[in-house]
Amino acid sequence: MAKLILCMESMVLKEIPLTKERMTIGRKPHNDIQIDNLAISGEHAVVVTVLNDSFLEDLHSTNGTFVNGHAIEKHFLQNGDVIELGKYRLKYVNEVPQQAPAAGPADFEKTMVLRPDIARKTAEQIENKAVGDTQVGLKATSAAPPPAAAQPAAALPPAVIQILSGANMGKELELTKTLTTLGKPGVQVAVIARRPHGYFITHVEGANFPVVSGVTLEANKPHPLKDHDIIELAGVKMEFFFKA
């Protein structure tokens, strides 16, 4: 379960688990999280938690609510965010618990059904699952960044195709995209895919198959490209090479 850690001048004052869907922060005593300090408004901010996500909202406080140094009105809290209210700091911690080393399928990410009446229960189930001992790779999987950032393609050296014959002779084409299409649609098309472990060329359409350094490509079979491979496609010769 997510929690807030209340600190002042690097002194930890309190740990507050986010047990309720709405938890208000303010100076007045009726708040769920009361901070009795004049810099804090009577009703200063609220944290709304939906299952495993929490949102922070400023309640039009006099001195404002800051997250990681920026004033916010509404903010989707991420693990490690620091909320500042006057001299007080609230650190948002939403760590997926460390799993036991026992082997088992990583089913934290498995699809589950959410029905309004059992929303609470589901949250608890997820919670229980998360601390269960059948989780493997839980932290890695659930805390993984979105796909774009997950692409490990950065390790792959950049490569180019240089045209060696025909009207475009000398031209270079950088293979920066995941897929680069070569040739003419309807006549002969090949695609070079940039994958984490290398570049691969595949014949897509046309009666003639591309030839790579003397080897004719097979249908539906990606062919790995080596440095300085010569590709012959639709009557044009080109060279593939890595850019140092």
Partner 1 sequence: MDLSKALEVASLTDKGLVRSHNEDSVLANAVAGFVILADGMGGYNAGEVASGMTTALLGSELTKAFAEREPSAPVGGGKRHVHAVLETEIARTNSAIYQAAQSQPQYSGMGTTLVMAVFQDDKVTVAHIGDSRLYRLRGEEFGPITRDHSLLQEQIDNGMLTPEQARHSQNKNLVTRALGIDPAVEPEIHDHDVQPGDIYLLCSDGLNDMVEDEEIAMALQAFGANLELCAMQLVQMANDNGGRDNVSVILVKVKEAFPAPSSGLGQWWRRILGWFKAR
Contacts with partner 1 by CB under 8 A lie at 50-53, 55, 76, 78, 94, 96, 105-106, 109-115, 122, 137, 141-142, 144, 146-148, 150-151, 177-179, 181, 185, 189, 191, 193, 195-196, 202, 204-205, 220
State the CB neighbour count (10 A cutoff) for residue 34. 14
- Residue with Cβ nearer partner 1 (41 or 180): 180
- Residue with Cβ nearer partner 1 (50 or 71): 50
φ, ψ for residue 155, nearest 5 deg: -70, -20
| Structure token pair of residue 154 | 């950065």
Amino acid, res. 122 = T
| Minimum distance from residue 75 beta carbon to partner 1 (Å) | 10
DSSP H/E element including 216:
strand 215-216
> 38 has which bridge partners?
none
| Minimum distance from residue 125 beta carbon to partner 1 (Å) | 11
Q: How far apart are CA 233 and CA 150, in angstroms?
A: 33
Contact at 8 Å (CB) between 127 and 212? no
Q: Which residues contact 61 (CB under 8 A, 6 or more apart)?
A: 40, 41, 43, 44, 45, 85
| Minimum distance from residue 64 beta carbon to partner 1 (Å) | 21
- Residue with Cβ nearer partner 1 (86 or 210): 210
Three-state SS for 244? Answer: coil
Q: How far apart are CA 118 and CA 116, in angstroms?
A: 6
| Minimum distance from residue 144 beta carbon to partner 1 (Å) | 7
Three-state SS for 139? Answer: helix
- Residue with Cβ nearer partner 1 (157 or 196): 196
- Residue with Cβ nearer partner 1 (62 or 181): 181
- Residue with Cβ nearer partner 1 (35 or 72): 72
User: In the β-sheet with 223-224, what is the strand arrangement from edge to edge?
Assistant: 179-184, 188-195, 198-205, 223-224
- Residue with Cβ nearer partner 1 (37 or 181): 181
Q: How far apart are CA 88 and CA 9, in angstroms?
A: 8
| Minimum distance from residue 9 beta carbon to partner 1 (Å) | 30
| Minimum distance from residue 121 beta carbon to partner 1 (Å) | 12
| Minimum distance from residue 239 beta carbon to partner 1 (Å) | 21
